[in-house]
Amino acid sequence: MEDGRLLLGATPLGQPGDASARLVEALTSADVIAAEDTRRARTLAAALGVTPAGRIVSLFDQNEATRVPMLLAEITAGATVLLISDAGMPLINDPGYRLVTACVAAGLTVSCLPGPSAVTTALAVSGLAADRFCFEGFAPRKQVARRSWLGELAGERRTCVFFESPRRLADTLRDAVDTLGPDRRAVVCRELTKTHEEVKRGTLGELADWAANGVLGEITVVLAGAVPQTDLQTLVGEVTELLADGMRVKDACAQVIAANPGAPSRRDLYDAVLRSRE
């Protein structure tokens, strides 16, 4: 008996031609295809001109926990299970985490068929720094939670990528203006790789005005990282004052960094303080 395995297959964001040759082969040969939406899976297969040999079962957020034992048993028995989401890479804000962790815990093989991802696609076309970035999933739905979340990003120096519903985009951008300021740069990517793809670049203020009349389609937002607003030497001076009051260097650095969004890292400040005392 051949060893079973779980294959994670990245599917096109919009254009079927973006499917990899390995994904096409897996669609025709997998014993089971676990799809976020079985109808979309069949539509994709038809667009690629292939006929799945195995059965197609659903696996989405609400049924993943109950599906895992069955799929785990299939893989243990030697089956190849292909996991696909509606678009892009499985698990990236899509179902699959429970199944992957269960396979890992059971010592089963988990492999990936790499390909499209809205996160890296948006980052690449944004024109913003891509050497360091973070992914935040979907922005919180409720305004209080959303503003708190945006506040946490005020000092984040990495480029941030997140998803948003077109229905809430205008509100989120307006909250971002109020929380982060109108001049922070961002990019809104709409319908990536599809016929009506649009990449809108500008400041948060400009983008909030643009989105005010409504936006349609799948949305990915790329937010520029914070730019340090206070020079390192000034921060060293603030730490020195706290040290004079008896505070430890580590604690003083933490307090000063927390009070200065966009400041250098705590490690940079700590090292600068130690140098200043030599």
Looking at residue 138, its pLDDT comes to 97
* Per-residue pLDDT tens over the stretch 46-103: 999 999 999 999 999 999 999 999 999 999 999 999 999 999 999 999 999 999 999 9
Kindly state the average pLDDT of the residues 150-163.
94
Q: Are 20 and 48 in contact (CB under 8 A)?
A: no
* Per-residue pLDDT tens over the stretch 180-225: 999 999 999 999 999 999 999 999 999 999 999 999 999 999 999 9
Report the predicted TM-score, pTM, of the whole model to 2 decimal places: 0.80
Looking at residue 262, its pLDDT comes to 62
Kindly state the average pLDDT of the residues 130-148.
96
Per-residue confidence band for 129, with pLDDT thresholds at 50, 70 and 90: very high
* Per-residue pLDDT tens over the stretch 222-272: 999 987 667 788 889 999 999 999 999 999 998 888 777 666 778 888 999
Domain-wise residue ranges, the chain: 5-116, 119-223, 232-276
CATH of 5-116, one of 3.90.1200.10, 3.40.1010.10, 3.20.20.70, 1.10.1040.10: 3.40.1010.10
Looking at residue 73, its pLDDT comes to 97
Asked if pLDDT for residue 21 goes beyond 60, the answer is yes
Asked if CATH classification 3.30.950.10 holds for the domain at 119-223, the reply, yes or no, is yes
